[in-house]
């Protein structure tokens, strides 16, 4: 694991992040303002040295192929960013994708899927599906193309895997889920954690649902069929609003006989992996996710 060159104490990082998230992710702010504030704050999330970012289009949407000079392995990862389906962008998640690409030794594709409320469900899922299928058309195979995502992007990753299996007979190599929001119907158990608050979360779930059915497993994949999903790794911090939901998801995955790995940190925050450039435990979590995905992306002939 590459240790961040500068690693301030966790209490200092938390003190800096708390007001930023408290004011930027506020249900009374227009979505466009929230997006602009988070994009501006992403300047603090630096890229690892040697990162190469190539702009392209996937499934008709802007996207980036993010790679490191150490990219030597076979395969790739499609990474779906978080943000409650209403915020989040290439800018906010470029650093996380770059750290994952460096540790994985393979490129990471980051699509800019459509956001609610302008584009409610199933727009994000349609864009994710189109991106995955287009990557397959370039010569990648399902066993060499994993899917990963955080928060809403983690829930979207689950929904994408289910759709690929059910509608295309395709199973991604693996799922890497950072604090996945797998059931937007479920109210948070308390008012807030360091990043997310209840009123903002409920506004996001309503914006994404639009006129849809809240029981649709594409919207809430935890409510749908889980058997047959690829090997899955779930990461969460015990202080997150999504901790209980993540433990419920892991239990359901294991009950459905999905090979599942689960790790819980203590003292971090929701998707602390975004701060992998500064926070040693966050960098360690990215490394663990990369190790899991890398094992799943091994050429078929040498897999156990």
Q: What is the pLDDT of residues 252-268, one digit of tens each?
A: 999 999 999 999 999 99
**Strand 108-111 versus strand 76-80 pairing type:** parallel
Tell me which of 39-48, 224-233, 248-257, 278-287 is least confident. 39-48
Q: Which residue has the tokens 């604090």?
A: 179
- Gyration radius from the chain CA atoms: 18
pLDDT over 80 at 102, yes or no: yes
Q: What is the mean pLDDT of the chain?
A: 94
Average pLDDT over residues 223-252: 98
Distance of CA 212 to the CA centre of its chain: 23
pLDDT of residue 50: 93
Mean local confidence (pLDDT), 127-155: 97
Is residue 163 helix, strand or coil?
helix
pLDDT exceeding 90 applies to what percent of the chain? 92
The per-residue pLDDT for 304 is 38
Average pLDDT on 10-32 reads 95
DSSP-based three-state secondary structure for 31: helix
Tell me whether residue 61 is exposed, middle or buried, using C-beta atoms within 10 angstroms of its C-beta: 0 to 12, 13 to 18, 19 or more.
middle
Q: Is the pLDDT of residue 228 over 90?
A: yes
Residue 252 has a pLDDT of 98
- Cα–chain center distance at 98: 13
Both tokens of residue 250?
């892991």
pLDDT confidence band for 302 (50 / 70 / 90): very low
- Please give the average per-residue pLDDT across 80-86, as a whole number: 98
C-beta separation of 50 from 70 below 8 A:
yes
Q: What is the pLDDT of residue 36?
A: 97
pLDDT for the residue 38:
96
Q: State residue 69's pLDDT score.
A: 79
Chain centroid, CA 146 distance in Å:
12
Q: Given a cut of 90, is residue 100 above it in pLDDT? A: yes
Specify the pLDDT at position 3: 55
Over residues 20-28, the mean pLDDT reads 95
Interval 186-199 mean pLDDT: 97
Give tens-digit pLDDT for 42-63: 988 899 999 999 999 999 999 9
pLDDT at residue number 195 = 98
pLDDT surpassing 80 at residue 301:
no
Question: Is pLDDT at 214 greater than 90 in this prediction?
Answer: yes
Tokens at 102, concatenated? 């460096």
pLDDT of 303: 42
What is the per-residue pLDDT for 4?
A: 61
Closest CA to 177 of 154, 143, 204: 154
């Amino acid at each position: 694991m590459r240790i961040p060159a500068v690693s301030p104490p966790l209490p200092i990082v938390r003190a800096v992040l708390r007001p930023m998230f408290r004011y930027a992710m506020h249900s009374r702010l227009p979505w466009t303002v929230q997006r602009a504030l988070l994009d501006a704050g992403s300047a603090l999330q630096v890229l690892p040295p040697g990162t190469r970012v190539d702009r392209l289009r996937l499934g008709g949407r802007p996207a980036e192929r993010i790679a490191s000079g150490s990219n030597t392995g076979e395969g790739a990862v499609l990474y779906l960013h978080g943000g409650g389906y209403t915020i989040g962008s290439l800018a906010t998640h470029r650093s996380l994708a770059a750290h994952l690409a460096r540790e994985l030794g393979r490129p990471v594709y980051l699509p800019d899927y459509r956001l609610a409320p302008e584009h409610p469900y199933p727009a994000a899922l349609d864009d994710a599906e189109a991106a995955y299928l287009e990557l397959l058309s370039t010569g990648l195979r399902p066993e060499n193309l994993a899917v990963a995502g955080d928060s809403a992007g983690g829930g979207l990753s689950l929904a994408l895997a289910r759709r690929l299996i059910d509608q295309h007979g395709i199973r991604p190599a693996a799922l890497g889920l950072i604090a996945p929001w797998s059931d937007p119907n479920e109210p948070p158990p308390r008012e807030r954690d360091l990043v997310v608050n209840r009123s903002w979360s409920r506004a996001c779930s309503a914006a994404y649902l639009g006129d849809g059915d809240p029981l649709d497993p594409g919207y809430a994949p935890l409510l749908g069929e889980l058997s047959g999903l690829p090997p899955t790794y779930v990461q969460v911090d015990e202080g997150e609003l999504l901790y209980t939901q993540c433990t419920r998801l892991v239990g359901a995955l294991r009950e459905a006989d999905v090979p599942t790995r689960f790790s819980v940190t203590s003292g971090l925050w929701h998707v602390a992996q975004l701060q992998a450039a500064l926070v040693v435990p966050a960098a360690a979590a990215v490394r663990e996710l990369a190790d899991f995905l890398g094992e799943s992306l091994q050429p078929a002939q040498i897999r156990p």
